[in-house]
Chain A
């Protein structure tokens, strides 16, 4: 492997250089967030970005132009590198203006060593000029997970002294005292555009063409469904089958195909569609990030999971149901409650709707205790939800506006890092 000190020099001298480090733990959320961040930094803020990834195969799944066998490549102007091996050489010159350690992934030890050398060089140079230490050699950011819990506000932008250097924890969040959420205006515009029936139909045809899936029949309602395997999808399917409105359900993920096959009593495979009364189900293959954006934007209601699609669905200003990533000791229950408190607090004019949103999320995430769960099921939250969809749509727009007012994460991150270096 060649030394890397030639890479950053490819950027114009006064152009800010950033490195983003991403380890794919499971699924596609980590790389999904990092790739969006990289694109927004490069396209909107004209920053020279290098994205270091340990799993190019997963990256390729959400971004097909990425070659999983190439350890060094450029896609839409962004440098993409395979996670450094022990043989990768780093010198202080390689260290850029900003280093993003996504989701507390540990940076390679030899990279950190080069960081330390650069930090010391910078400190020494500043001391020699007998000036106060006003800038850092580089900004080192730990981009944290998204949570709506109150403690996030007090931890956002907190420093972390590490090996003589200073790292900063940057927390996404739902209030102005956090880093906000990642969004770009093309997504907002896409959502607005696809509210027109003709544009929506054109998007459906485009999506089906790209995924080699049959175009579904006209439907009065489009629902996308992306969830972890334990989601209680039977309650949703039953409600949709019993409803008079023709519904198109877009199913993502092989794990849900299996659950659907159990419900339907026959095998279910990707790129095929299945009809059950007024309900048409299309099983989609793995979608690239742009295609999933298209699906979220054309759907009237989105069932999303994890962090990435959860944020996108909210920023589109549409009703959505969140399947939260399950954590040890049910820590995700507190996180779900904290989010629901924010989400339902943005418009308290309709308590029936707010209560329904909470119940539906608790049911979907298995939060309620067994007795409460029966209580919810007896109340049939899905039929009630389908009836209140117009009100939820209005609620989602209010929530979207609140999030837009908070500002976008990438711009906040750029501003903060600019203040450090």
Chain B
């Protein structure tokens, strides 16, 4: 057991027999040296959320999740199938992929992390930086190479994001998978 004030965003705890990931934990000093922690939690199974409050020294049960390296293999409607290092298939429904769905393309080389709760794959984490090819964007304005002017580009997955104005169709770009933001033109 851990006390409430020890939990940080990204950690998972058990409440009422269900697993909840901490999205936010805010600590406030109450009165006479006691404190409270207000959390935003997301249910790992249902995706529902709640914002409970705890005394800072309330004991909560942490959940250590199993993680495994996987790579994307193929789409078998409606499941997205990844393979682990021993070529065991790991299947995800679309809603469990979260924002990662925006970057799923055939032949993607990224080594991802599949996260398991009680043997079930519940979410996937991409590497922080991923490289994807621009499928379409408007032609760039001549001479603008500063990177400060942005324009919309779409990826093979159909996902649209803002990229530097000098990026052209067919170019590979680096994207921050946590925020979905363009970082730079990919190096080679």
Please report A residues at the B interface, Cβ cutoff 8 Å.
25, 103-104, 142, 144-147, 149, 151, 154-155, 158-162, 164, 169, 307, 325, 327-328, 331, 334
Contacts and interface: CB of A to CB of B under 8 A. Distances in A.
Given A158-B53, A159-B50, A161-B52, A104 B30 contact: yes
Contacts of A158: 38, 51-53
Interface residues of B, number: 19
B39 to A, nearest CB: 10
B29 to A, nearest CB: 4
B48 interface: no
10 contacts: A103-B32, A146-B31, A151-B38, A155-B36, A158-B52, A159-B52, A161-B15, A325-B31, A327-B32, A334-B29
Nearest to A162: B58
Contact of B28 (A25, A146, A155, A164): A155
Given A158-B52, A331-B29, 18 more contacts: A103-B31, A103-B32, A103-B34, A104-B30, A144-B31, A144-B36, A145-B31, A145-B32, A146-B31, A147-B31, A151-B38, A154-B38, A158-B38, A159-B52, A161-B16, A161-B52, A169-B36, A331-B33
A384 B33 CA distance: 34
Contacts, number: 57
Contacts of B52: 158-161
Contact of A155 (B31, B32, B50, B53): B53
Given A162-B58, A169-B36, A169-B53, A151 B28 contact: yes
Contacts of A160: 52-55, 58
A103 B34 CA distance: 9
A327 B53 contact: no
Most buried by B among A149, A151, A325, A334: A151
Contacts of B33: 327-328, 331
Contacts of A307: 31
Contacts of A155: 28, 36, 38, 53
Nearest to A165: B16
B99 to A, nearest CB: 26
Nearest to B17: A164
Contact of A147 (B30, B38, B53, B58): B30
Contacts of A328: 33
Given A154-B38, A159-B53, A161-B16, A144 B58 contact: no
Nearest to A146: B31
A149 B28 contact: yes
A160 B36 CA distance: 11
B106 interface: no
B26 interface: yes
Nearest to A27: B32
B12 to A, nearest CB: 15
Contacts of B55: 104, 142, 160
Contacts of B28: 149, 151, 155
The list of the 10 closest CB pairs from A to B, nearest first, reads: A145-B31, A158-B53, A331-B29, A151-B28, A169-B53, A161-B15, A145-B30, A160-B53, A104-B55, A328-B33
A149 B30 CA distance: 10
Contacts of B29: 327, 331, 334
Contact of B16 (A164, A331, A334): A164
Contacts of B53: 155, 158-160, 169
A144 B51 CA distance: 18
Nearest to B34: A104
Interface string B57-72: 0100000000000000
Contacts of B16: 161, 164
Nearest to A158: B53
B58 A25 contact: no
